[in-house]
Amino acid sequence: MPQFFTNKRLIILLGSIIILVALIGFSLRDRANITWPEKFVKDVTGFGQNIVSKPAGAVEEFFDDVRRLRNTYEENEKLRVHLAELAQLESDVARLEKDNAELRKVLEKEESLSDYEPVQATVIARNPDRWYELITIDQGESNGIEPDMAVMTADGLVGKVKSTSKFTSTVQLLSAHDAQNRVSALIQADTAVYGLIEGYDEEKKMLKMTKIPSDSKVKKGQSVITSGLGGVFPKGLVIGKVTDLVPDEFGLTQTALVQPAASFYDLEHVMVSKRAMTKVLPEEEDRQQVVIEEEGP
């Protein structure tokens, strides 16, 4: 049997294992965004990815369209019914929006947690080894995207921006297994019930909403939306519906299983929400007042 490793090769192997461990340690660090060499590589690779996946996406969409063509008649019937309702709804929304703006003016509260500016993006790649539930979109820092922004589809929230480069961003889906993947949410019961979306039940395909007070009355089928309290996500993005409620191991809080409104599979077009109101601290003058009060007796 020939010798598998000569001395030189053994040294190379050990050296590369050390480099491997160092690099993994580096990339697992809790960091706000990736370093500039990584950004550069991402932009170059993303450029190529754009060239390859845009035509591929177009071809796929064409076949989807052909498939949809078969149910056109039924869909048309359904849509006609909806359209009749829509006119009424539209006028209602316009009236309410106007009311809201006026009332806000009265309160001198121009910005709210729910204001956001959506940025449209196309999914150009999904991590082929599918371990970390990451997707790459074709919008980056040049379009004002920053880490931790909310990402959603027309149906609801799907994830948050993990890292950005100049022209691409990586999005971590809510279904990812990551302890840092938390979203502050609320259940729309008679009084709002707050909790945290953390974790994903792989088998049931449900999100887990934890830290719900044990005395809160939550019913099945109630909607779960983002609360806007996390600091970056706007308020009011749809997450899903409560399907089950279980007490946690100590019985102090409850955990709700939430059926996600948006599908985490086969994403093509997503929206990144730039929240309008990012200030957490009160206005300059108010802040001073607070400080003086604290320094009092």
- The minimum distance between CB 129 and another protein, in angstroms, equals 5
> Of 197, 125, 186, nearest to 159 (Cα)?
197
Q: 2 vs 221, which CB is nearer to another protein?
A: 2
Which of the ranges 54-62, 94-102, 152-160, 216-224 carries the binding residues for another protein, by CB under 8 A?
54-62
Query: Contacts with another protein in 158-197 (CB under 8 A)?
Result: 162-163, 170, 177-178
Residue among 143, 166, 194, 205 that touches another protein (CB under 8 A): 205
Query: Do residues 198 and 210 lie in contact, with contact meaning Cβ atoms separated by under 8 Å?
Result: yes
Q: 30 vs 202, which CB is nearer to another protein?
A: 202
Q: 263 vs 278, which CB is nearer to another protein?
A: 263
Q: What is the 3-state secondary structure (H, E, C) of 195-255?
A: EEEEEEECCCCEEEEEEEECCCCCCCCCEEEECCCCCCCCCCCEEEEEEEEEECCCCCEEE
Convert 207-229 to b/e letters by CB count within 10 Å (16 or more is b). bbbbbbeeebebeeebbbbbbbe
Total Cβ atoms within 10 A of residue 21: 10
Quick check: 36 binds another protein (CB under 8 A)? no
- The minimum distance between CB 231 and another protein, in angstroms, equals 23
Quick check: 288 binds another protein (CB under 8 A)? no
- The minimum distance between CB 24 and another protein, in angstroms, equals 5
Quick check: 66 binds another protein (CB under 8 A)? no
In which region does residue 56 sit, left (phi positive, over 0), alpha (psi from -120 to 50) or beta (all else)?
Answer: alpha
Quick check: 297 binds another protein (CB under 8 A)? no
Total Cβ atoms within 10 A of residue 53: 19
Which of the ranges 56-64, 152-160, 229-237, 277-285 carries the binding residues for another protein, by CB under 8 A?
56-64
- The minimum distance between CB 13 and another protein, in angstroms, equals 8
Tokens of 118: 């959506």
H helices of 34-192, in order, are: 36-69, 72-107
- Please give the residue ranges that form the binding site for another protein (CB under 8 A): 2, 4, 16-17, 19-24, 26-28, 34, 38, 41-42, 45-46, 48-49, 52-53, 56-57, 60, 125-132, 134, 136, 162-163, 170, 177-178, 202, 205, 263, 265-266
